[in-house]
Amino acid sequence: MDAYIARIGDLVVIGNVRPAVASLAAYRPGKGAEQAEAEHGIIDAIKLASNENPYDTVPTVAAAIAAAASGVNRYGDHRAVDLRAAIGAWLGVDQNAVTVGCGSVGLLQQLCLSYVDPGDEVVYPWLSFEAYPVNVKMMAGVPVTVPLIDHRFDLQAVADAVTPRTKIVMLATPNNPTGTAVHAADIKQLLEAISDDVIVLVDEAYREFMSGDFGDPVHDLVPHHRNVIVTRTFSKAYGLAGLRSGYAVADPDIVGELDKVLLAFAVNSLAQAGALAAIGAMDEIQPKIDILLMERDRVVEAVSGAGWKLPDAQANFIYIPVGASASELSAGLERRGVVVRPFAGEGIRVTIGTPAQNDRFLSNFLELTG
Ligand SMILES: Cc1ncc(COP(=O)(O)O)c(C=O)c1O
């Protein structure tokens, strides 16, 4: 055997890779439309698999990004000072309570880098965002998962799962993939039930699609609980997924720890320009969000009308708990050019697209399941 190759169980390891990384599965992004076309020999496939915004970036934001392109011979502003200040003013919070990351998933990684030592526990409901286990395991942390009840979080069980080894609790609201949200008042109850040295991440990647009835953790929780961090993103509602910019609101002490582990210049200058412009272009962006919300209601109604019981959809996707047929149904849709995200044995997650894309999903879904 080559001197640099070793085996850990079934794993072949070259060099001295950390066991925590060697045992990780590689990240698999949602399948793209072109890939599905090539695999199935079809044309005109549509991707409803990654919860992206189906609409082009709005003109004002596209122009700001184009204008920033002429400066990319220079590094961007590592601290993104203007963007932090703009987010602070936009949300009505102190700019020292704001930080930015390379997508909100970048902030998730920073949070784990800052708070999780090997053997530390991180508690989250499951099913939830697939990046949670990856980032916890990367640090040799121990994921502690709490089953959903009827596709919703059981926050009492989450509180009960917290131990003296728990460093972080992760709550995606709305949750990916189920789409259900939790009320800020219920998170407050959880915070009061657990030790305040446990960081509670409130991951609001889909905030803009959620009903206002669920409260606002930035104002309802962060000022009163120094251990809360709220993350949000420009990827989804603002249509900037390809540029990678997300932000967090938390106590300035948490912000300071996250900032220490931010990869140099991770929020690049185009991402900063796009996010800054988006904050000022809500008159162009909000109508597109409104269309997506109307379309979500229409798709929910059509699928429910066919007899499927759906969890409350609060994001830009719906979750259909089809159970054992999830993989087969998803493959069937894909052969017809509609790429959705299967969760084997559980359900399928379908991103809300343009009205024409949603029609295409609906007619194929209803035919395949009818
Ligand atoms: C719950 C949740 N959080 C965070 C993210 C990360 O989004 P981004 O890194 O693009 O901000 C996603 C993306 O799918 C998500 O579903």
Give the closest residue (by CA) to ligand 1 atom 13.
Answer: 205
Ligand 1 binding pocket includes 30 (Cβ within 6 Å): no
Give the whole-angstrom CA distance, residue 265 versus residue 73: 13
What is the DSSP secondary-structure string of 75-94?
A: ---TT-HHHHHHHHHHHTS-
Do 250 and 303 have their domain in common? no
Do 100 and 46 have their domain in common? no
Within a domain: 13: no
Within a domain: 5: no
Q: How many Cβ atoms are within 10 Å of 58's Cβ, its own excluded?
A: 20
Within a domain: 79: yes
Within a domain: 7: no
- Out of 130, 176, 182, 229, give the residue to mutate to test ligand 1, the one with the largest number of ligand atoms within 8 Å of its CB: 176
Do 229 and 248 have their domain in common? yes
Give the closest residue (by CA) to ligand 1 atom 12.
Answer: 205
Ligand 1 binding pocket includes 246 (Cβ within 6 Å): yes
Do 179 and 314 form a contact (C-beta atoms < 8 A)?
yes
Q: Which pTM was predicted?
A: 0.95
Instruction: Identify the pLDDT of residue 1.
Output: 44
Domain range for residue 352? Answer: 31-56+283-369
Do 312 and 266 have their domain in common? no
Q: Is 30 helix (H, G, I), strand (E, B) or coil?
A: coil
**Between the CA of residue 269 and those of 77, 178, 275, what are the distances in Å?**
7, 34, 10
Ligand 1 binding pocket includes 176 (Cβ within 6 Å): yes
Do 119 and 140 have their domain in common? yes
Give the closest residue (by CA) to ligand 1 atom 2.
Answer: 205
- Out of 231, 235, 349, give the residue to mutate to test ligand 1, the one with the largest number of ligand atoms within 8 Å of its CB: 235
Do 38 and 158 have their domain in common? no
Token pair recorded at residue 124 = 């989250």
Do 146 and 81 have their domain in common? yes
Do 51 and 67 have their domain in common? no
Ligand 1 binding pocket includes 129 (Cβ within 6 Å): yes
Q: What share of the chain is helix, strand, coil (3-state, %, to 5)?
A: 45, 20, 40
Taking alpha carbons only, the member of 260, 258, 172 closest to residue 217 is: 172
Q: How many domains are contained in the chain?
A: 2
**Per-10-residue mean pLDDT for the chain, 370 residues long?**
58 80 84 91 95 97 97 96 98 98 98 98 98 97 98 98 98 98 98 98 98 98 98 98 98 98 97 98 98 98 98 98 97 97 97 98 97
Distance 41 CA to ligand 1 centre (A): 31
Block residue for tokens 């008042």: 185
Atom of ligand 1 nearest to the CA of 50: 14
Instruction: Identify the pLDDT of residue 114.
Output: 98
Within a domain: 19: no
What is the DSSP secondary-structure string of 108-120?
A: HHHHHHHH--TT-
Distance 291 CA to ligand 1 centre (A): 21
Atom of ligand 1 nearest to the CA of 128: 1
User: Per residue in 239-263, is it b (16+ CB within 10 Å) or e — as a string?
Assistant: bbbebbbbbbbbbeebbebbbeebe
Do 46 and 146 have their domain in common? no
Do 184 and 67 have their domain in common? yes
Within a domain: 172: yes
Task: Find the CATH number of the domain harbouring 64.
Answer: 3.40.640.10
Do 204 and 339 have their domain in common? no
Within a domain: 11: no
Instruction: Identify the pLDDT of residue 320.
Output: 98
**One-letter-per-residue 3-state SS of 232-295:** EECCCCCCCCCCCCEEEEECHHHHHHHHHCCCCCCCCHHHHHHHHHHHCCHHHHHHHHHHHHHH
Ligand 1 binding pocket includes 239 (Cβ within 6 Å): no
End-of-domain residue from the set 240, 262, 279:
279
Instruction: Identify the pLDDT of residue 8.
Output: 62
Atom of ligand 1 nearest to the CA of 108: 4
Instruction: Identify the pLDDT of residue 30.
Output: 78
Within a domain: 95: yes
Give the closest residue (by CA) to ligand 1 atom 16.
Answer: 176
End-of-domain residue from the set 234, 253, 279:
279
End-of-domain residue from the set 279, 305, 322:
279
Task: Find the CATH number of the domain harbouring 301.
Answer: 3.90.1150.10
Do 232 and 339 have their domain in common? no
